[in-house]
Protein backbone atom coordinates (compact mmCIF):
# COMPACT_ATOMS: atom_id res chain seq x y z
CA UNK A 1 0.00 0.00 0.00
CA UNK A 2 2.82 2.37 0.91
CA UNK A 3 4.62 1.40 -2.32
CA UNK A 4 1.54 2.32 -4.34
CA UNK A 5 1.29 5.67 -2.56
CA UNK A 6 4.93 6.43 -3.32
CA UNK A 7 4.46 5.45 -6.98
CA UNK A 8 1.32 7.58 -7.25
CA UNK A 9 3.21 10.58 -5.76
CA UNK A 10 6.10 10.11 -8.20
CA UNK A 11 3.74 9.81 -11.18
CA UNK A 12 1.91 12.96 -10.03
CA UNK A 13 5.15 14.94 -9.71
CA UNK A 14 6.53 13.80 -13.07
CA UNK A 15 3.17 14.23 -14.80
CA UNK A 16 2.78 17.69 -13.28
CA UNK A 17 6.22 18.74 -14.52
CA UNK A 18 5.39 17.45 -17.99
CA UNK A 19 2.04 19.26 -17.99
CA UNK A 20 3.58 22.55 -16.84
CA UNK A 21 6.19 22.29 -19.60
CA UNK A 22 3.48 21.60 -22.21
CA UNK A 23 1.11 24.28 -20.93
CA UNK A 24 3.72 27.04 -20.88
CA UNK A 25 4.56 26.35 -24.55
CA UNK A 26 8.02 24.91 -23.94
CA UNK A 27 7.29 21.89 -26.12
CA UNK A 28 5.50 23.67 -28.95
CA UNK A 29 6.64 25.28 -32.21
CA UNK A 30 9.43 27.80 -32.71
CA UNK A 31 7.08 30.82 -32.45
CA UNK A 32 5.92 29.70 -29.01
CA UNK A 33 9.49 29.01 -27.92
CA UNK A 34 10.71 32.48 -28.83
CA UNK A 35 7.66 34.02 -27.09
CA UNK A 36 8.53 32.07 -23.93
CA UNK A 37 12.08 33.46 -24.00
CA UNK A 38 10.68 36.97 -24.42
CA UNK A 39 8.36 36.50 -21.43
CA UNK A 40 11.20 35.07 -19.33
CA UNK A 41 13.47 38.02 -20.22
CA UNK A 42 10.71 40.45 -19.24
CA UNK A 43 9.96 38.65 -15.96
CA UNK A 44 13.58 38.15 -14.85
CA UNK A 45 14.56 41.64 -13.54
CA UNK A 46 11.38 42.15 -11.41
CA UNK A 47 11.81 38.64 -9.99
CA UNK A 48 15.47 39.36 -9.10
CA UNK A 49 14.42 42.66 -7.47
CA UNK A 50 11.76 40.91 -5.41
CA UNK A 51 14.17 38.23 -4.18
CA UNK A 52 16.78 40.87 -3.33
CA UNK A 53 14.22 42.82 -1.28
CA UNK A 54 13.08 39.62 0.43
CA UNK A 55 16.61 38.63 1.45
CA UNK A 56 17.56 42.20 2.27
CA UNK A 57 20.91 42.57 0.52
CA UNK A 58 21.93 44.77 -2.37
CA UNK A 59 23.25 43.39 -5.59
CA UNK A 60 25.93 45.47 -7.35
CA UNK A 61 24.58 47.33 -10.36
CA UNK A 62 24.80 45.37 -13.58
CA UNK A 63 27.50 46.97 -15.77
CA UNK A 64 26.04 48.36 -18.96
CA UNK A 65 27.89 46.97 -21.93
CA UNK A 66 27.76 49.31 -24.90
CA UNK A 67 28.54 46.49 -27.29
CA UNK A 68 25.68 44.45 -28.75
CA UNK A 69 26.88 41.17 -30.29
CA UNK A 70 23.70 40.89 -32.34
CA UNK A 71 24.42 44.12 -34.16
CA UNK A 72 28.14 43.48 -34.51
CA UNK A 73 27.67 39.99 -35.96
CA UNK A 74 27.11 41.05 -39.57
CA UNK A 75 30.08 43.43 -39.62
CA UNK A 76 32.16 40.74 -37.92
CA UNK A 77 31.29 38.19 -40.60
CA UNK A 78 31.99 40.74 -43.32
CA UNK A 79 35.41 41.64 -41.85
CA UNK A 80 36.37 37.98 -41.35
CA UNK A 81 35.46 36.96 -44.87
CA UNK A 82 37.20 40.02 -46.36
CA UNK A 83 40.32 39.17 -44.39
CA UNK A 84 40.15 35.54 -45.54
CA UNK A 85 39.67 36.46 -49.18
CA UNK A 86 42.52 38.97 -49.20
CA UNK A 87 44.69 36.74 -46.99
CA UNK A 88 46.71 34.90 -49.66
CA UNK A 89 47.45 38.15 -51.54
CA UNK A 90 48.55 39.88 -48.33
CA UNK A 91 50.73 36.90 -47.35
CA UNK A 92 52.32 36.94 -50.82
CA UNK A 93 53.03 40.67 -50.57
CA UNK A 94 54.57 40.36 -47.12
CA UNK A 95 56.69 37.42 -48.26
CA UNK A 96 57.95 39.39 -51.25
CA UNK A 97 58.71 42.37 -49.04
CA UNK A 98 60.58 40.14 -46.62
CA UNK A 99 62.59 38.50 -49.38
CA UNK A 100 63.40 41.90 -50.88
CA UNK A 101 64.56 43.11 -47.46
CA UNK A 102 66.81 40.07 -47.06
CA UNK A 103 68.23 40.57 -50.55
CA UNK A 104 68.97 44.21 -49.72
CA UNK A 105 70.69 43.09 -46.52
CA UNK A 106 72.78 40.56 -48.42
CA UNK A 107 73.99 43.15 -50.95
CA UNK B 1 13.05 34.17 -48.74
CA UNK B 2 14.52 37.62 -48.12
CA UNK B 3 17.64 38.06 -46.00
CA UNK B 4 15.68 39.88 -43.31
CA UNK B 5 13.16 37.05 -43.11
CA UNK B 6 15.97 34.49 -42.96
CA UNK B 7 17.60 36.43 -40.15
CA UNK B 8 14.35 36.48 -38.19
CA UNK B 9 13.87 32.73 -38.73
CA UNK B 10 17.41 32.01 -37.55
CA UNK B 11 16.87 34.19 -34.46
CA UNK B 12 13.68 32.26 -33.73
CA UNK B 13 15.57 28.98 -34.23
CA UNK B 14 18.25 29.98 -31.72
CA UNK B 15 15.72 31.13 -29.13
CA UNK B 16 13.64 28.00 -29.59
CA UNK B 17 16.74 25.77 -29.35
CA UNK B 18 17.64 27.36 -26.02
CA UNK B 19 14.09 26.84 -24.73
CA UNK B 20 13.89 23.23 -25.90
CA UNK B 21 17.31 22.31 -24.48
CA UNK B 22 16.40 23.91 -21.17
CA UNK B 23 13.05 22.14 -21.06
CA UNK B 24 14.66 18.80 -21.98
CA UNK B 25 17.31 19.26 -19.31
CA UNK B 26 14.72 20.19 -16.70
CA UNK B 27 12.39 17.32 -17.48
CA UNK B 28 15.36 14.93 -17.65
CA UNK B 29 16.46 16.03 -14.18
CA UNK B 30 12.92 15.60 -12.81
CA UNK B 31 12.56 12.12 -14.27
CA UNK B 32 16.06 11.14 -13.17
CA UNK B 33 15.41 12.17 -9.57
CA UNK B 34 11.85 10.82 -9.36
CA UNK B 35 12.05 7.51 -11.23
CA UNK B 36 15.61 6.56 -12.08
CA UNK B 37 17.57 6.95 -8.84
CA UNK B 38 19.56 10.02 -9.98
CA UNK B 39 21.24 8.31 -12.91
CA UNK B 40 22.69 10.51 -15.63
CA UNK B 41 21.12 8.88 -18.66
CA UNK B 42 17.62 10.41 -18.32
CA UNK B 43 19.22 13.87 -18.32
CA UNK B 44 21.17 13.03 -21.46
CA UNK B 45 18.00 11.58 -23.00
CA UNK B 46 16.06 14.75 -22.18
CA UNK B 47 18.79 16.93 -23.69
CA UNK B 48 18.78 14.77 -26.81
CA UNK B 49 14.99 15.01 -27.11
CA UNK B 50 15.16 18.78 -26.70
CA UNK B 51 17.85 19.03 -29.35
CA UNK B 52 15.82 16.86 -31.73
CA UNK B 53 12.66 18.93 -31.21
CA UNK B 54 14.60 22.16 -31.78
CA UNK B 55 16.16 20.76 -34.97
CA UNK B 56 12.78 19.64 -36.33
CA UNK B 57 11.19 23.00 -35.56
CA UNK B 58 14.02 24.86 -37.27
CA UNK B 59 13.81 22.57 -40.26
CA UNK B 60 10.03 23.07 -40.61
CA UNK B 61 10.38 26.82 -40.17
CA UNK B 62 13.07 27.13 -42.84
CA UNK B 63 11.28 24.81 -45.29
CA UNK B 64 7.83 26.41 -44.83
CA UNK B 65 7.92 28.83 -47.83
CA UNK B 66 8.83 26.01 -50.22
CA UNK B 67 6.10 23.57 -49.24
CA UNK B 68 2.98 23.31 -51.36
CA UNK B 69 0.03 23.87 -49.05
CA UNK B 70 -3.09 21.92 -49.73
CA UNK B 71 -6.45 23.14 -48.49
CA UNK B 72 -8.75 20.21 -47.99
CA UNK B 73 -12.42 21.13 -48.00
CA UNK B 74 -14.58 18.91 -45.85
CA UNK B 75 -17.65 17.61 -47.64
CA UNK B 76 -20.66 19.23 -45.99
Q: How far is B76 from chain A (nearest CA, A)?
A: 31
C-beta atoms of B12 and A17 within 8 A: no
- Of the candidates B11, B27, B35, the beta carbon closest to that of A18 is on B27
pTM across the whole model: 0.66
Nearest CA in chain A to B31: A14
Question: Cβ of B34: how many Cβ atoms within 10 Å?
Answer: 17
pLDDT of residue B75: 65
Do residues B36 and A40 lie in contact, with contact meaning Cβ atoms separated by under 8 Å? no
DSSP string, B38-71: T-SHHHHHHHHHHHHHHHHHHHHHHHGGGSPP--
Answer with the residue of higher pLDDT: A54 or A81: A81
pLDDT at A19 over 70: yes
Mean pLDDT of A77-99: 92
Is 0.95 exceeded by the ipTM? no
Nearest CA in chain B to A9: B34
- Of the candidates A14, A18, A29, the beta carbon closest to that of B35 is on A14
Question: Cβ of A60: how many Cβ atoms within 10 Å?
Answer: 5
pLDDT at A59 over 70: no
| pLDDT tens for chain B, residues 1 to 76 | 787 888 888 888 988 999 999 999 999 999 999 999 999 999 999 999 999 999 999 999 888 877 777 666 666 6
Q: Which residues make Cβ contacts (< 8 Å) with residue B47, sequence separation at least 6?
A: B21, B24, B25, B28
Amino acid sequence: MRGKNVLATKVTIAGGALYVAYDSGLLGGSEQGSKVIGKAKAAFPPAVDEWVKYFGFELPAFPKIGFAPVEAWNSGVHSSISALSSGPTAVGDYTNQGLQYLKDLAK
Amino acid sequence: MSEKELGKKLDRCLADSAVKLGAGLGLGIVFSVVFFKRHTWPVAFGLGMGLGMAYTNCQNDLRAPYLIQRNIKMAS
